[in-house]
Amino acid sequence: MDTYLDRERNLLADRLQHASERLAALAPRIKAEHGDESSQPNAWTAHELLAHLAVLSKFYGVLVHRISTDQLPNMNLLEAVHLRDTVGHQMSQLEPADLVRMTLVDHERTIKTLRTSDPQALRKTAELGDGITMTAEEVARLPLVSHLELHIEQLEKLLA
């Protein structure tokens, strides 16, 4: 079973690496701009979407690390997501180049965690509030990598 888990762990790290490379390729085309504060995610500017990517990359990357190393988060995931969105708006005040740089560093840190963690470490779970329990691997796969991939597709369309 560890062989399969090891393979899945590396495939997940590869997906995050690929998403990071896609974001790096888009970076030069993202200009500083600000949309209406009341806008919804599907109406975000490329700059605001980049800020969101920066925040979710940090937030979920740290969560993967903390769960996999038994530094269990003491948090309610839904409350933290609302805080993450507020921080995202604040981050949208930073220059796109700075946001991309920060995001790529966070991706590298999480990729390293995924590639070097024992497969069993990524199967550790944490209670994230409201009855939600996730493994470190599930956090990496769903709210981090899948979420990131969806928003990178959205960013590609905005910049097309």
**pLDDT tens-digit series, residues 11-37:** 999 999 999 999 999 999 999 986 555
- What CA–CA distance (Å, rounded) separates 9 from 104? 19
Cβ neighbour number for residue 95 with a 10 Å cutoff = 12
Q: Please report which residue ranges of the chain form alpha helices under DSSP H.
A: 2-26, 46-68, 77-91, 96-116, 136-139, 147-159
- The alpha carbons of the chain give a radius of gyration, in whole angstroms, of 16
What pLDDT is stored for residue 43 in this prediction?
78
- Residues of the chain scoring pLDDT < 70: 34-42, 73-86
- What CA–CA distance (Å, rounded) separates 95 from 88? 13
Q: Please tell me whether residue 142 adopts helix, strand or coil conformation.
A: helix
Decide: 4 and 130 in contact? Cβ < 8 Å.
no
- What CA–CA distance (Å, rounded) separates 154 from 41? 10
- What CA–CA distance (Å, rounded) separates 93 from 50? 11
Residue 12, CA distances (Å) to 19, 26, 82 in order: 11, 21, 26
Q: Please tell me whether residue 39 adopts helix, strand or coil conformation.
A: coil
Third-level CATH fold of 2-29+44-159: Four Helix Bundle (Hemerythrin (Met), subunit A) (1.20.120)
